[in-house]
Amino acid sequence: MNETGTEAIRAALFSMQDPGYQAFQSALLPTVDAETVIGVRMPELRKYAKKLSASSAAPLFLQELPHSYYEENNLHALLIERMPDWDSAVAALERFLPYVDNWATCDLLAPKCFSENLPSLLRRIPGWLMSEHAYTVRFGIGMLMRYYLDEQFSADYPALVAGVRSDEYYVNMMIAWYFATALAKQYPTAVAYLEERRLPEWVHNKTIQKAVESRRIDSRKKDYLRTLKR
């Protein structure tokens, strides 16, 4: 991307800066250098992404990696989200994933066209789960949680998540989040993973903690889940 375009987009982001929010957001992102967080609130960033997506600057910006600022990465994610074509969105996503360096940008990635291409999406998920890049793995688990715990659910899918082994905190947190959500939506299948101790101990206990905190699980089930703590 030409320097003029880079500078214009960065200037636009800084024009939306909220210093108080910058401090708040930085504290939530321990893996991100605070000096690279501008402090743009998400509603403002979404509005800007909508405007930018209709301009000739958007495809040029998507070619420029790595970015220098946290909000530039989030803007990149939001531009991918707006892509209506499956092939284009996947190509852009695959190019971007290796540069994702934090949980917030990772969890922001949710291209709208994915919901219309669930069989194709499912075929890609095992590859993401086997990645050596933590946030690519987290993204793959997030896709299984977002799209395949309701009508599209299969008992094979929790097995994919349970098979992930990682020392990365943000991967293990996502595994726990997945199983806590599965306990709310697919309880008989999910609870067996706790009863049979098929998850690492930390993930097992974090799953129970998150499930007990959930408003979607009734008190009787919560009482039972507490008895499964390791």
Domain boundary among 63, 95, 116: 116
| Per-residue confidence (pLDDT) for residue 7, from 0 to 100 | 87
Residue 96 CA to its chain's centroid (Å) = 13
230 burial level (CB within 10 Å; 0-12, 13-18, 19+)? exposed
CA 128/CA 34 separation, integer angstroms: 28
Contacts made by residues 6-10, CB under 8 angstroms, sequence distance 24+:
6/61, 6/64, 8/57, 9/52, 9/57, 9/61, 9/72, 9/75, 10/68, 10/69, 10/72
Number of domain units in the chain: 2
The mean-pLDDT minimum among 52-56, 146-150, 166-170 falls in 52-56
Q: Check if the beta carbon of residue 38 is closer than 8 Å to that of residue 13.
A: yes
**pLDDT given for residue 5 in this prediction:** 82
Helices (H), 148-228: 156-162, 169-185, 187-195, 201-213, 219-227
pLDDT score of 62 more than 70: yes
CATH number for the domain that contains residue 214:
1.25.40
51 & 110 share domain? yes
d(CA 217, CA 223) in angstroms, rounded, equals: 10
| Domain termination residue (choose one: 101, 116, 131) | 116
Tell whether 43 and 149 lie within a shared domain. Answer: no
Question: Quick one: pLDDT band at residue 224, thresholds 50, 70, 90?
Answer: very high
- Do both 75 and 12 map to the same domain? yes
Residue 3 has pLDDT above 80, yes or no: no
Distance CA 230, CA 13 (A): 47
On the question of pLDDT at 2 being above 70, the answer is no
When the pLDDT of each residue in the chain is averaged and rounded to a whole number, the result is 96
Task: Output the pLDDT for position 1.
Answer: 43
For the chain, percent of residues with pLDDT exceeding 90: 97
* Calpha distance 113→87 (Å, rounded): 10
Same domain, 126 and 109: no
Predicted confidence (pLDDT) per residue in 165-215, tens digit: 999 999 999 999 999 999 999 999 999 999 999 999 999 999 999 999 999
Same-domain status, 179 and 111: no
94 and 48 together in one domain: yes
**Do 54 and 127 have their domain in common?**
no
What is the arithmetic mean of pLDDT over 3-21? 90
- Say yes or no: 109 and 163 in one domain: no
Q: For residue 66, is the peptide bond before it cis, meaning its omega torsion is within 30 degrees of 0?
A: yes
Instruction: Give the end of a domain, one of 100, 116, 132.
Output: 116
Residue 134: pLDDT band (50, 70, 90) is very high
Q: Are residues 217 and 171 in the same domain?
A: yes
> So what's the pLDDT on residue 6?
82
18: pLDDT confidence band, cut at 50, 70 and 90? very high
DSSP per residue, 80-98:
HHT---HHHHHHHHHHHGG
Query: Among positive and negative, which fits the CA dihedral 127, 129, 132, 135?
Result: positive
Q: Is the pLDDT of residue 60 over 60?
A: yes
Closest of 22, 43, 44, 41 to residue 33, by C-alpha:
22
Q: Is the pLDDT of residue 4 over 70?
A: no
Contact of 195 with 168, CB cutoff 8 Å: no
Instruction: Calculate mean pLDDT across residues 91-97.
Output: 98
Q: Do 69 and 147 fall into the same domain?
A: no
Let me know whether 97 and 146 are in one domain.
no
Does 156 share its domain with 210?
yes
Segment 130-159 mean pLDDT: 98
Domain holding 58, by residue range, is: 1-116
